[in-house]
Chains A and B, each alone.
Chain A
Amino acid sequence: MTIAASRRRVLALGLAAPLMLLCRRAGATPEAMAAAIEAFTGGGTPAESGITLDIPLLVENGNSVPITVSVESAMTEEDHVEEIAVFNEANPLPDVVRVRLTPRSSLGRFQTRIRLAGSQTIVAVARMSDGSLRRAAVSVIVTAPACRES
């Protein structure tokens, strides 16, 4: 322990401040996210199973966060994942990405990298070919990157 606790706290605060400012400018809220999800589901109630949202619980940098959404499905003509939408509650906009799959996709799964303006809950919703819905939510902590410029 060569750095005194008090100084460390000051330093952590100083370094974290720019990110906090960024978060305050953000526009999406839990309510805005709920409204966006409502628009996607058309008011239907999603099952909380058969879908996995894989995202690091502790995010190193909110500028690039890997996510994988996997939906259990046979991916046949009769029974497949039609669309997957990802939402957030603290970025300027609640929508993140929407993906349409086909039986030929063969796996109800995709991977991408997203931006997160601060710690928040991310929600993935899948719509199946029979109109049923599935939902997964994960809360993640986004740490402030140390030593930013200006």
Chain B
Amino acid sequence: MATAMVNIPETAAPGEIVEIKILISHPMETGFRPGMDGKLLPRDIIRSLRCEYDGETVFTAELHPAIAANPFFVFHLRADRSGEITLVWADEKGNEFRQSGQITVG
């Protein structure tokens, strides 16, 4: 299964505020929901998301079970130099996932 769909603009004018969008494929199992056998399904959620722009952390989110299945986040950053924009997200088992895109400013 594809793990995420990410929108990172490929180009921006210097100083332009660009929108970053990410949709992560994940059930966000809360740990409060019974399965078919009546027992609670074990909690399995994405716990954190962060965005790095040319090595600088610009946005972080701490997710709780109240975040909908297939977590979706939209936020912004000001682009003033060309570089790599990386989104990093992690579940509670320590698995870390990342997806990057290059933005060209000028």
Chain A interface residues toward B at CB < 8 A: 25, 63-65, 88, 91-93, 95-102, 104-107, 109-116
Interface flags, B18-53, vs A, CB<8A=1, else 0: 000000000000101000000000000000000001
A82 to chain B, nearest CB (A): 11
A96 lies within 8 A of B67 (CB): yes
A72 to chain B, nearest CB (A): 15
Question: Given B59, B61, B74, B76, which contacts A97 in the complex, CB threshold below 8 Å?
Answer: B61
B69 lies within 8 A of A97 (CB): no
Q: Which residues from B are CB-within-8-Å of A63?
A: 68-69
Question: Given B57, B62, B68, which contacts A102 in the complex, CB threshold below 8 Å?
Answer: B57
B66 lies within 8 A of A115 (CB): yes
Q: Which residues from A are CB-within-8-Å of B67?
A: 96-97, 112-115
B68 lies within 8 A of A110 (CB): no
Q: Which residues from A are CB-within-8-Å of B56?
A: 104
Q: Which residues from A are CB-within-8-Å of B32?
A: 25, 92
Interface flags, B67-78, vs A, CB<8A=1, else 0: 111011111111
Instruction: Name B's interface SS.
Output: strand
Total contacts A to B, CB within 8 angstroms? 90
A104 to B80, CA, bound (A): 10
Q: How large is the interface on B (under 10, 10 to 19, 20 to 34, 35 or more residues)?
A: 20 to 34
Q: Which residues from A are CB-within-8-Å of B61?
A: 97-100, 110, 112
7 contacts between A and B (CB under 8 A): A92-B65, A96-B64, A97-B64, A97-B67, A100-B60, A105-B59, A113-B68
A102 lies within 8 A of B66 (CB): no
B53 lies within 8 A of A104 (CB): yes
A92 lies within 8 A of B73 (CB): no
Q: A92-B32, A99-B61, A111-B73 are in contact. List 7 more A-B contacts (CB 8 A).
A: A91-B65, A93-B64, A96-B67, A98-B62, A99-B60, A107-B75, A115-B30
A106-B17, A107-B17, A109-B76 are known contacts. Are A93 and B65 too (CB-CB below 8 A)?
A: yes
B5 close to A (CB within 8 Å): no
A114 to B65, CA, bound (A): 9
Q: Which residues from B are CB-within-8-Å of A102?
A: 57-59
Question: Given B69, B74, B78, which contacts A110 in the complex, CB threshold below 8 Å?
Answer: B74
